[in-house]
C-alpha cells in the first residue's frame, strides 16, 4: 500500500482575511493534478478556517488544517479552541507540536499527548511536528532527542491509531540560521524516525506513516527533497504564502 504524499501549507500568523481569500482564489484558479495518493493540506489561521473549508469543499484530495487545538473538550478556557469546534467546521487536519508552539508557548511532550488524543477522538488527522535545535544537532544527540519526542507523545497509541497520524520533521537548526539541511540529511532523519516507529510498532505499520519535511521547502528544492525514499512531502511555511511558489511545491510530490 502506497503512503500518502502530502503538500501541507502552514500560513502561521500571516495574511488578512482579504489576502487569504485572494491567495485561495489564485491557488485554485489552477487545475492541480494529484494522483491517488497525493494530498494538499492548508494550515490557515483560525479566523479563516470556514472560508478555506468553503473554498475547497468540491475539490478532491484537498483538506484544511487548523494550526493548533487545546487539550480540553470545552470549558472556561478563554481564547482557546477545541478539537470539537475545529472538526465541526469540516476541518480534517490539525498541526500539533510545531517548533514555534514548543518554544514560545512551552508545549511539552505530555501536553501534546493530550492534544493528540483529543484530536483523534474528534476525527481530526494530527500533523505531529518534531525536530531539534542547533545545540542538539551539534551535540550529535538529534536522533535520540527526536526519537524521544515520538516516544513520549505517540507511543501510547495503538497501531490503528498511529496509522491516523502524519509526522512532520522540522530541522529547527536549519531554519533562519544560515545553515541548510541537504536532501540527504532530510532522508537520514526520516529513515531514523521510521526505524523508531518500526521498533515500536513493526515495519508494516511504520511503512504506512507519512513523514513530511519541514525545513524551508520551496519550489526550487521540493522535487529533490520529496524524491528521497522516506520523505513523503513537506510542511511548508513561507513558500505557501505565494500561490505560484506553493504550486511548484505541490508539483514536486513524487
Residues acting as catalytic residues: 98, 170
> CB within 8 A of 55, min separation 6: which ones?
24, 25, 28
Contact between 100 and 89 (Cβ < 8 Å):
no
- DSSP class of residue 239? G
Angle formed at CA 151 by CA 147 and CA 154, multiple of 5 degrees:
125
Cα–Cα distance list, 252 to 62, 218, 232 (Å): 16, 9, 11
The residues that bridge with 151 in the sheet, in sequence order, are none
Grid cell digits, residue 127: 500533523
Terminal C-alpha separation, the chain: 15
The strand pairing partners of 130, in sequence order, are 169
- Entry field: residues in the chain: 254
Indicate the pairing of strand 62-66 with strand 211-213: unpaired
Q: CB–CB of 45/86 below 8 Å?
A: no
Q: Is residue 35 classed exposed, middle or buried when 0-12, 13-18 and 19+ CB atoms within 10 A define those classes? A: exposed
CA distance 236 to 240: 6
Amino acid at each position: 500500500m502506497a503512503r500518502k504524499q502530502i503538500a501541507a501549507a502552514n500560513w502561521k500568523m500571516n495574511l488578512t482575511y482579504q489576502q487569504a481569500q485572494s491567495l485561495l482564489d489564485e491557488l485554485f484558479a489552477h487545475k492541480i493534478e494529484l494522483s491517488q495518493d497525493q494530498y494538499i493540506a492548508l494550515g490557515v489561521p483560525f479566523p479563516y478556517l470556514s472560508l478555506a473549508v468553503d473554498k475547497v469543499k468540491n475539490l478532491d484530495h484537498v483538506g484544511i488544517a487548523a494550526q493548533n487545538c487545546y487539550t480540553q473538550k470545552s470549558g472556561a478556557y478563554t481564547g482557546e479552541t477545541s478539537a470539537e469546534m475545529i472538526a465541526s467546521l469540516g476541518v480534517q487536519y490539525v498541526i500539533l507540536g510545531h517548533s514555534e508552539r514548543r518554544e514560545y508557548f512551552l508545549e511539552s511532550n505530555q501536553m501534546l499527548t493530550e492534544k493528540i488524543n483529543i484530536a483523534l477522538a474528534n476525527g481530526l488527522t494530527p500533523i505531529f511536528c518534531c525536530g531539534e535545535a542547533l545545540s542538539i544537532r551539534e551535540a550529535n544527540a538529534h536522533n535520540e532527542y527526536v526519537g524521544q519526542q515520538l516516544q513520549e507523545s505517540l507511543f501510547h497509541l495503538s497501531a490503528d491509531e498511529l496509522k491516523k497520524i502524519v509526522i512532520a520533521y522540522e530541522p529547527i537548526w536549519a531554519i533562519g540560521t544560515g545553515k541548510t539541511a541537504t536532501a540527504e540529511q532530510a532522508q537520514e532523519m526520516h529513515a531514523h524516525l521510521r526505524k523508531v516507529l518500526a521498533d515500536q510498532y513493526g515495519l508494516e505499520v511504520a511503512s504506512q506513516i507519512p513523514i513530511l519535511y519541514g525545513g524551508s521547502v520551496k519550489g526550487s528544492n521540493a522535487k529533490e527533497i520529496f524524491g528521497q525514499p522516506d520523505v513523503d512531502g513537506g510542511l511548508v511555511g513561507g513558500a505557501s504564502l505565494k500561490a505560484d511558489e506553493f504550486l511548484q511545491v505541490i508539483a514536486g510530490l513524487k
